[in-house]
Each structure stands twice: as C-alpha cells, then as structure tokens.
Amino acid sequence: MEGMRHCKGVDGKMDIKVLGPGCNKCKKLYGEVEAALKQLGIASTLAKIEKIEEIMAYQVLMTPALVIDGEVKVAGRIPSAAELTSWLTTAAAKE
C-alpha cells in the first residue's frame, strides 16, 4: 500500500479515486462525489478504479471504496453526504 499513497495528483489538485468493479453502488458513490465536488467548488482529479489488481493495492476488501489523496476513507458502503463533505473540505484545507 505504501507505493499507492501520495498527497496530491500530478497537477497539484486533490486526488480522489472511487474503487469498485462498476456495480450500481460504485456508480452511485462516483456520482455523489462528483456532485459534492461541484457543490463545494473544489478542484480535484476524480477517477474510477475498476481493475481488481488496482483495487487490491489499496488493501480494500469491500467496495465501493473512496480514496482521497491516497487515504482510504470508507469501504463497503456509501458514506452520508455529511461525511463526504467533511472529508472533502478537510482534504481541501490541507492544500
């Protein structure tokens, strides 16, 4: 997992990944993250990671999972809007 951790994306923006094989919950989490970023006005790089090998590199056993700047924030469930907003604003404040 150490090789996967990093603070920011290559362009200096917050780096966010939604991990999952493309199931409905994974798609929903991606949409909710995208909407929250837009609402909050936070610049970021948002990516879907669907390859099982890449997901396993984060030591995630359940999907969907959310990774913000290399740190797994949640796995196996969709976080509440309040949790998501808190994580995103906290990470943005570290920039």
Residues 7-56 have pLDDT tens digits of 454 456 899 999 999 899 999 999 999 999 999 999 899 999 999 999 99
Interior/surface letters 49-78, b for 16+ CB within 10 angstroms, e for the rest: beeeeebeebebeebbbbbbbeebbbbeeb
Domains and CATH numbers, the chain: 2-88 (3.40.30.10)
Amino acid of residue 84: L
The whole-model pTM stands at 0.86
Q: Looking at residue 1, what is its pLDDT?
A: 35
The rounded radius of gyration (Å) of the Cα atoms in the chain is: 12
Query: What amino acid is encoded at 14 in this protein?
Result: M
DSSP-derived letter for residue 83 is: H
